[in-house]
Structure 1
Amino acid sequence: MILYHGSLEIVEKPAILEPNHTMDYGKGFYTTTSKEQADKWVIRKISAVNQSKVYTNIYSFDEASLSSLKVLRFEAPDEAWLNFVMANRIDKDFSHDYDIVYGPVANDRVYAAFAFYEEGMLDKQGLIRELRAYKLADQLLFHTEKALNYLHFVKAEEVSK
């Protein structure tokens, strides 16, 4: 499997970093199977910093290793996914013991829908219906060092605005 990670730098040795804000699946190293998603993310990021070069890092991941890891997989934005994402986003002390979490990524439109949910303007089932109408990219979080051992750097490509 080929995975992508948009970054302000070349990341040959991925690491589990403590984020400065809450994330959908918790702390870890986020990747996606969509090069387009990784490129879009880092292009948005470049506008917030004074940096001329940004990169999409490319990795290989042996899917056979999943059998030796504790994996949480969400096929679609459903109630279990919503509960997990909200727990990670609302409770900075929320933690889980999965090596890898895979599922839909919350994009800008999703964040707006979450805001309506958090303000009580949408109920849980309404939010799920709304989210299922979106074409969402995926994300694969490497949450533990054990999981990162199976992720191998291939190369980095510079991304242009």
Structure 2
Amino acid sequence: MGKIILFHGTPDKVIVPKYGGGDDKHDYGRGFYLTENMELAKEWAVCRPNDTNGWVHKYELDTDGLKILDFQKLNVLSWLAELMKHRDAADSKRYRMLSKKFIAKYGVDANEYDVIRGWRANASYFYIAKEFVRDNIDIDILEELLALGGLGIQYCIKSKLAYSKLKEIQDELLVVDYTEFNDKYNQRDIEARKNMRDLVDSDANKVTKVFSTLFEE
């Protein structure tokens, strides 16, 4: 893979990525999150409803020698299991019990990796997750649903080694206009939810292989 260019959208003009930073409850836990897609980074920089412009920081990541866990190369259920470790799709007792079983069966040990690559769990994702754990979504349409969700692919920098190989290209800092890109973010979400609801309501969603049936032997 060698050196790749990544972007970080944020409300902050000055940021210093540091090992151990971030939020345990973010998609893949603590880490520094970036994307290869500059347009998505611009939207993510202004996705809060606060009317202030954002910033896109450009980085170079030297991937040589890094262990990268790429969820696009794994079963989509493994990705869902990773998210369930950090984010709750529901607050019911049933979900708490079943999610533990789900993680035990489909989860992978992400701790040995330097970087995690996979979809971003935005608002559209939570629509999918909630319907999935309510047994309203068949596993056969899960991947298509995620594609319709326009979630975007993100990278999460996890290890000290990965942080040491991440360098900001300081002179390419971009300011992001709030009005233009917050509107794009909201429109993407509205369109994604409509497309996903249409698929969930279609005959393609047979609702036979669902969340609770995954634990049947």
Give the equivalent residue in structure 2 for 1:17: 21
Q: Is the 8 A contact 2:117 2:154 kept in 1?
A: yes
Q: Is the 8 A contact 2:22 2:29 kept in 1?
A: no
Amino acid across the alignment from 2:67: K
Paired with 2:83 and 2:27, the residues of 1 have a C-alpha distance of 5
Shift of 1:136: 3.7
Q: Which runs of 5+ in 1 are unaligned?
A: none
Give the equivalent residue in structure 2 for 1:5: 8
Question: Does 2:86 correspond to 1:88?
Answer: yes
Give the equivalent residue in structure 1 for 2:193: none
Paired with 1:137 and 1:129, the residues of 2 have a C-alpha distance of 13
The structure with the largest helix share of the pair is: 2
Give the equivalent residue in structure 2 for 1:75: 72
Partner of 1:24, secondary structure, is coil
Question: Does 2:46 correspond to 1:43?
Answer: yes
Question: Does 2:37 correspond to 1:34?
Answer: yes
Paired with 1:7 and 1:141, the residues of 2 have a C-alpha distance of 15
Where does structure 1 differ by over 3 angstroms across 4 or more consecutive aligned residues? 123-129, 132-136
Shift of 1:4: 0.5
The structure with the largest strand share of the pair is: 1
Shift of 1:124: 4.3
Shift of 1:55: 0.6
RMSD value, Cα: 2.6
129, 144, 157: which is aligned to 2:174?
A: 157
Shift of 1:135: 4.0
Partner of 1:25, secondary structure, is coil
Q: Is the 8 A contact 2:28 2:116 kept in 1?
A: yes
Q: Which runs of 5+ in 2 are unaligned?
A: 89-95, 97-102, 104-108, 179-217
Give the equivalent residue in structure 2 for 1:112: 127
Give the equivalent residue in structure 2 for 1:121: 136
Paired with 2:53 and 2:81, the residues of 1 have a C-alpha distance of 37
Partner of 2:56, secondary structure, is strand
Paired with 1:12 and 1:129, the residues of 2 have a C-alpha distance of 35
Amino acid across the alignment from 2:54: V
Question: Does 2:154 correspond to 1:139?
Answer: yes
Amino acid across the alignment from 1:29: F
Larger CA Rg, structure 1 vs 2: 2
32-41 or 97-106: bigger deviation: 97-106
Structure having greater relative contact order (Cα 8 Å, sep ≥ 6):
1
Amino acid across the alignment from 1:17: G
Shift of 1:120: 3.1
Give the equivalent residue in structure 1 for 2:192: none
- Superposed CA offset, 1:122-150 (max 9, x none): 35444344224444411000012221111
Paired with 1:121 and 1:38, the residues of 2 have a C-alpha distance of 32
